[in-house]
Amino acid sequence: MTHPLLDLLPAGSAVDPDGTLRIGGCRVDDLAREFGTPAIIVDETALRARAREYRTELEARWPHARVVFASKAFPATAVQRVMAEEGLGLDVAGGGEILSALRAGVDPALIVLHGNAKSTEELRLAVDAGVGLVVVDNSDDVDRLEEIVPAGRRQDVLVRVVPEVASSTHPHVQTGQVGSKFGLTAPAAKALIARISRSPRLRMRGVHAHVGSQVMDPSELAAAVAPLAALGTFDVYDLGGGLGARYTYDEHPASVADYLDTLLAAARAHLPSTAELIIEPGRSMVNGAALTLYTVTTVKRDARAFVAVDGGMGDNLEVALFQQRYEAALATRLGEEDTEDVVVVGRHCESGDVLIDPLRLPAARVGDLLVVPATGAYTHTMANNYNGARRPPVVFVRGGEARAVIRRETWDDLFLRDL
Ligand SMILES: Cc1ncc(COP(=O)(O)O)c(C=O)c1O
């Protein structure tokens, strides 16, 4: 049996003859029984395959290059461990992500620290851990590092630059445009580079730019290369992440190969061939490897047909943050015809807590399982306890075996910080 949703799910996903979805060889009704819902299910094979694809495609195109996974997209220790095992470095934003990378066994030399408002505590953590590159966003970062880095040592740094590229993604995930809070415009970047070059505690290694996220046109990402090159000749050019991921039937983001062809054509045109290149994919690395499984708790056929599930903006803020569109289906009724236009809503006390509007489904019933594909990026990491929600588990599936790598929160967990 087949279903259009398979197009949005990891390769190897299948529909059993009774209309039930299988992912990583596991039936979703079995997963729901064992781990409950909502649950984020990750196909480990797909996760590893994507990491390998990024790595081999980049290495094939540039002699001295590395992929660092932007861990903010899915900062679960188990995910970071997979990335380390696949030979990737990690981009971290903040102290918590440094600690999670270290727990996952990532070589500190392969960690790149970002942040537009790094605290002294976070910078100290990075320096003490031997983080390979600190991406300096402002002169306060330099002041703090000069205090923290011990005499006789030098911390390698990059300077984050505003490439002045306004990509055609949602304004809330643009980062490289004039007026962005991230990085410095060329004149300020040049002044800071000159200061770092004179610093006894810092080593000026290169420059960084990140245009934005969910960018569907790779030429917009490649447009950041020339502004970086204009700042001078360096050892390292970090070209950021940002490639769009596929969420819906009608979206067709560039493949990794096509993205890198475009990006590295710009690199060949503008950068020294001996330089080290870094890319920092997040969303496009992990999004397609995961899905979220919900249970339908209420079906209300009134002004609209409302299908309410047991999750929502507590486990997926992407819709509220930038109106991300998703597809979904009833995970044990994939053989049935879609007969009803519904709006899939969450359980939270906000009118904006809508997961998908509209969606066509078979007539939904209480207790049905709803599967939402393409939820690997920026879901788990932004999950929250709004309305006392317990954050969902993360479950890895592979070869018919399932294991929780993060458990569901308990009611008691909600009060752990009470004094
Ligand atoms: C500095 C930096 N690098 C990489 C990324 C990853 O972007 P994406 O998840 O869109 O690939 C981000 C995301 O915000 C970022 O801020």
Quick one: 34 and 115 in the same domain? no
Quick one: 77 and 145 in the same domain? yes
Query: Ligand 1 — pocket residues by CB below 6 A?
Result: 70, 73, 91, 114, 175, 210, 213, 240-243, 280-284
Query: What band does 172 get if pLDDT is binned at 50, 70 and 90?
Result: confident
Quick one: 187 and 299 in the same domain? no
| Residues with catalytic function | 349
pLDDT of 165 reads: 79
Reported as type and span, the H/E element at residue 205 is strand 202-208
For residue 326 the two structure tokens come to: 């998703």
Average pLDDT over residues 341-367: 97
Of 285, 319, 338, the residue at which a domain comes to its end is 285
The average confidence (pLDDT) of the chain is 97
Domain of residue 37, residue span: 4-43+287-415
pLDDT of 348 reads: 98
User: Are 355 and 328 a contacting pair, CB within 8 Å?
Assistant: yes
pLDDT of 257 reads: 98
Reported as type and span, the H/E element at residue 278 is strand 276-279
User: Are 136 and 160 a contacting pair, CB within 8 Å?
Assistant: yes
Query: What band does 171 get if pLDDT is binned at 50, 70 and 90?
Result: confident
Of 243, 261, 285, the residue at which a domain comes to its end is 285
User: Are 372 and 348 a contacting pair, CB within 8 Å?
Assistant: no
pLDDT of 96 reads: 96
Residues 6+ apart with CB under 8 A from 225: 237, 239, 263, 266, 267, 269, 270, 271
CA 246, CA 254: separation in Å to the nearest integer? 9
Nearest CA owner, ligand 1 atom 4: 241
- What are the tens digits of pLDDT across the range 175-200? 888 888 899 999 999 999 999 999 99
Quick one: 13 and 57 in the same domain? no
Average pLDDT over residues 330-356: 97
Average pLDDT over residues 397-403: 98
Cα 70 to ligand 1 centre (Å): 6
CA 220, CA 204: separation in Å to the nearest integer? 27
Query: What band does 414 get if pLDDT is binned at 50, 70 and 90?
Result: very high
Which ligand 1 atom sits nearest the alpha carbon of residue 285? 11
Nearest CA owner, ligand 1 atom 16: 210
Quick one: 319 and 392 in the same domain? yes
pLDDT surpassing 90 at residue 356? yes
pLDDT of 63 reads: 85
Cα 400 to ligand 1 centre (Å): 32
- What are the tens digits of pLDDT across the range 72-128? 999 999 999 999 999 999 999 999 999 999 999 999 999 999 999 999 999 999 999
> Among the residues of 208-255, which ranges form H helices?
218-222, 225-229
pLDDT surpassing 90 at residue 151? yes
Quick one: 117 and 167 in the same domain? yes
Average pLDDT over residues 159-163: 96
Which ligand 1 atom sits nearest the alpha carbon of residue 243? 11
pLDDT of 61 reads: 97
pLDDT of 166 reads: 82
State the Cα angle at 242 between 256 and 5, rounded to 5°. Answer: 65
Residues 6+ apart with CB under 8 A from 366: 296, 297, 298, 299
Cα 307 to ligand 1 centre (Å): 33
Quick one: 260 and 142 in the same domain? yes
Cα 213 to ligand 1 centre (Å): 6
Of 259, 285, 311, the residue at which a domain comes to its end is 285
pLDDT surpassing 90 at residue 282? yes
CA 336, CA 352: separation in Å to the nearest integer? 30
| Range of weakest confidence among 80-89, 166-175, 234-243, 329-338 | 166-175
Quick one: 301 and 401 in the same domain? yes
User: Are 177 and 164 a contacting pair, CB within 8 Å?
Assistant: yes
Quick one: 223 and 368 in the same domain? no
pLDDT surpassing 90 at residue 60? yes
Quick one: 368 and 261 in the same domain? no
Residues 6+ apart with CB under 8 A from 374: 8, 245, 246, 247, 287, 288, 290, 291, 326, 327
Total structural domains within the chain: 2
pLDDT of 106 reads: 96
CA 399, CA 165: separation in Å to the nearest integer? 43
User: Are 132 and 108 a contacting pair, CB within 8 Å?
Assistant: yes
Which ligand 1 atom sits nearest the alpha carbon of residue 212? 10
Q: Residue 29 is part of a domain; what is its CATH number?
A: 2.40.37.10
| Range of weakest confidence among 78-87, 141-150, 164-173, 242-251 | 164-173
Pocket test for ligand 1, best of 66, 91, 172, 211 (most atoms within 8 A of CB): 91
Residues 6+ apart with CB under 8 A from 31: 23, 39, 41, 293, 395, 397, 402
